[in-house]
Amino acid sequence: MNTRIQSDRTVIAGPVGGIEVLAEQPDHAPRALALIGHPHPLFGGTMDNKVVVTVARALRELGCVTLRSQFRGVGATEGTHDEGHGETDDQLAVIEHGLNAYGDLPVIVAGFSFGAFVATRVADRLAENGRPVAGMVLVGLAAGSVEGIRHYAPGPVREDALVIHGERDQVVPLANVLAWSAPQNLPVAVLGDTGHFFHGKLHVLRLLIERWWRATAPAGQ
């Protein structure tokens, strides 16, 4: 599907200062609002990461307004890295901005690596606030002990969440994600012979997202 991209880059007010946000929408009435989080900011992660851009493009072409923002300390976003706590607060502010700007749409949360971990926290907070997400896309989810002596403990997610991981992920071992998903009976789509950054497999990511959308109709379409 080819659409004309309408984009808006702005800095919104966040809990500790400005948050740089890029919103992109198709040229037809949006079906949902999709938030896509980026990899760890202390290891070069930005909203322009190719995996993040691929996920955003796939969701936009399915009819979503997509929102990408820079985490604290990246680009024009103020503040310092907060291990996912402050980043969750910021992402909630981005969603509020999107709903005010584009209407009361179903919300999809997505992310790559650290951004996927933050997405699980955002989904939890939205549920606590009485607004459960309509869908989740978690790519290369940071779970368990990962490269750099960091540890992540994402909570349970909705049963129709799309979880995608590389068989040969060198940053977040596949075993970590399987250990997290198994108690939930949650399927994981494993891309064979693929590392953390899905080199040469971005087209497969898009295909999996398209199939998930058709199977689950996350925005009620």
| Mean pLDDT value of segment 156-181 | 97
- The predicted-structure confidence for 78-92, as pLDDT tens digits, reads as follows 999 999 999 999 999
Short-list 106, 112, 10, CA closest to 56:
112
Residue 221 domain flag: no
Residue 79 domain flag: yes
Question: Residue 69 has what pLDDT?
Answer: 98
Mean pLDDT value across the chain: 94
| Mean pLDDT value of segment 101-124 | 97
Residue 149 domain flag: yes
Rounded Cα–Cα distance for residues 109 and 135 (Å): 7
Question: Residue 123 has what pLDDT?
Answer: 98
How many domains in the chain?
A: 1
Q: Which of 38-47, 109-118, 140-149 has the lowest mean pLDDT?
A: 140-149
Residue 1 domain flag: no
Question: Residue 1 has what pLDDT?
Answer: 45
84 — alpha (psi -120 to 50), left (phi > 0) or beta?
Answer: left
44 — alpha (psi -120 to 50), left (phi > 0) or beta?
Answer: left
Query: What residues are paired with 207 via a beta bridge?
Result: none
Q: Strand 32-37 and strand 107-112: pairing?
A: parallel
Residue 106 domain flag: yes
Question: Residue 147 has what pLDDT?
Answer: 76
Rounded Cα–Cα distance for residues 114 and 80 (Å): 15
Question: Residue 10 has what pLDDT?
Answer: 96
Residue 86 domain flag: yes
Q: Which domain holds residue 113?
A: 6-214
Residue 219 domain flag: no
Rounded Cα–Cα distance for residues 70 and 154 (Å): 21
- List the Cα angle 134/135/140 in 5-degree steps: 155
Residue 209 domain flag: yes
* CATH number of the domain to which 98 belongs: 3.40.50.1820
| Mean pLDDT value of segment 161-168 | 98
| Mean pLDDT value of segment 25-53 | 95
Look at residue 119 and tell me whether its pLDDT is greater than 90: yes
> With bands split at pLDDT 50, 70 and 90, how would you rate the model's confidence at 220?
low
Give 117's contacts (C-beta < 8 A, 6+ positions apart).
Answer: 84, 111, 141, 142, 143, 152, 154
Short-list 85, 74, 3, 86, CA closest to 38:
74
